[in-house]
Chain A
Amino acid sequence: MKTLLTLTLSTSCALAEYYRTETIPLPEGEVIEVSSIALMPDQKVAISGRRGSIWVATGCYDDDVSQVRWTRFAQGLHEPLGMHWKDGSLYVQQRSEYTRATDTDGDGKADNFENICDDWGTSGNYHEYVFGSTPDRNGDVWAILCLTGSGGYAADFRGWGLRITPDGQMYPEVSGIRSPGGLGYNAAGDLFYTDNQGPWNGSSSLKWMKPGGFMGSPSGNKAATKFGLEKPPEPKNKSRMLTERLKDPRIIPPAVILPHGRVGQSPTAVLYDDTKGKFGPFQGQVLVGEQTHSQVQRVDLEKVNGLYQGAVFPFLKGYASGVVPMRLAQDGTLFVGGTNRGWGSRGPQPFSFERTRWTGEIPFETETMKITSKGFRLTFTQPADEKSLLDPSSYQLKHWTYIYQKSYGSPEVDQGAAKVTGVKVLSDGRGVELTLDRWERGHVYHLEMKGVKSAKGKALWHPSAYYTVNEIPES
């Protein structure tokens, strides 16, 4: 009991030691269930609420957040779930419309709402959420459309990823979406979104929205017939993702499975750390929001044989509500918006707006996890204790996959344990190469490294990692 208590205390202290989260007060008396965040010039920050308003704040970067001031920029929008600032306007992804909202007379309030694109359907079902991205490398934005009731198709392009050009042309590029929670880019500029556990999704995961790709759920395939598009794949029920995608390469397997229950239950926002070290030692990596567990996960991606894959690590926790939108500012401030209306969260507040900053202290943590032909190469943020690295019992590896099926979710199946048959310490002492006895392609590998210690004798901040093995490199 005593050990447990110490452990709990040291974990939460550790979090505050490395990353500090503060509440940004919202305008008094207003209910703003934060649904999207946009960073604006002059250190202004805009947030939208699920009730359809947009608010702009000054002071969100200041040391004293009690001085934050809000003004209402707009009201009456339909549950915006994506927003960015460009050329003097806020671009807002509403449920039924992608809109440019502009303050033309400079009074701080939008007075012109221009419909850029609304060429998709909505049936009136509450679950038909639409999430919008920031512009991609070509200046286009992407909208991803949740299925009707999260499993059906009752309006045009439900379950599709749509590319929208600045002049409002819409191109359906990606099919097979079920119930997204957010989307964003990795450092290479490729687009990823999170999909939630349910039909055709054994677990929640981070998926690569490869143009032309199929994300797993055939419910939205009806759009292809109606609009004369190439018919997306019809995967076989109760199969495995690996089996099906080898039959039809248009099926893009989840890049990183976020094992249901173990690392969350409802993944949301996607972004990558482009702060060049201002947000700690994980630059270039992807952060994923988690609504149910009120957390932020960290993802290290790599591309192997043309497909993305990688590892997810537990990262930040203890947010006040269910984490939905996030934005990372260039100065290393992570803005985190929360809501738990309709879907419970560990964080007890109905809504919240917070910021997290790196304290400058580097945690002893796995920095990267990459696959090799025979195992994994891990690097750590600080020099590790060689003896602990060389001890094969420092590492436990289990792996499993999920049934690829129409019914809701999947148990973990086809479980196995991999044996570490070789350990090689990297020359700088800050990493290790593990050789495994064998591979099971298509599986999530859960690596537990309780035995690994830093040169100063510290355990890893988070000793767990989950790596999704879609492909194995030749050598």
Chain B
Amino acid sequence: MNVILFSIIYLIVALTIVMYITWFERKFAARIQNRVGPYYVGRPHGWLQPLADVVKLMLKEDIVPKKADKTIFNIAPPLVFIGALLTFCVLPVAKGLYISDLAVGIIYFFAVSSLMIFGVFLAGWASNSKYALLSAFRAGAQVVSYEIPLILSALVPVVLAGSLRTSEIVRAQDIPFALYPVFGWVAFIIFLIAGLAEENKVPFDVPEAESELVAAYNVEYSGMKFALFYASEYAHILALAVLASILFLGGYRGFYPHVGPEWVWQVIWLFIKSFFMLCLFLLIRWSFVRIRIDRLLLFSWRILFPISLINLFLAAIWKIFF
């Protein structure tokens, strides 16, 4: 019972944060571009803008194209959303504060986040639109290419920590901000790049390339179905940012004064680290132009894949001998 209550609270908090990530991104981008960003809804900083967006999307007409494959068309958005939400299960926010501490936590994370690509692919196929179809092809190719360096780089901390459990990995990073050997930092950079690509974010947003493919796999979706795609995208960003801080930045560990309950400080530390990762993602996103699909795939297979493989191998040797 306790677990269920906790997971409900956990998800609600996570989704609220996801909502406010959209607000934060808009403000962040606006500052880069000498704009103000959301302003009027919830003056003076547009605090209520995400809520207004949700209400707007809920009230919108739900359009299903006449020739779309209706069942699959309707299944796809929840599938993506569930995939994004399930990843939070294995992410501990403080010592002992997690929904489930699976023995295969990291593998579980990537397994369920791969569910998202099924949703994207189904959405692209079922929309009966050529833009969506092309985008689904691209998304498939991209995720297949970038999942491998992503997982290989995530395996480096796993090897060094000696466990697939997320809590174990955090515990292994005795000193805050993880003093991994150099392999850890190489893996971190690869994780960052591959994570951005996983995200379908600029500069790797080829499946979403709205200047080429309009709006890609979600071009035919409207209303809440679109909102599900949108929310799951940001939820996945959050999940990845949290995972990155758990794997590489020491998770919820940090310096804290011994005042108040310990878990509060741990949550704050995790929040700060994840927030830092998030800002890194956003900064890259708002300052680059898009890479072409063929260069994108080549980059993964010719550069990221070998480096991450060698890196993992060296990390394993280091682990055995030192």
Our verdict on whether A and B bind, yes or no, reads no
Interface residues of A (CB under 8 A from B): none
Interface residues of B (CB under 8 A from A): none
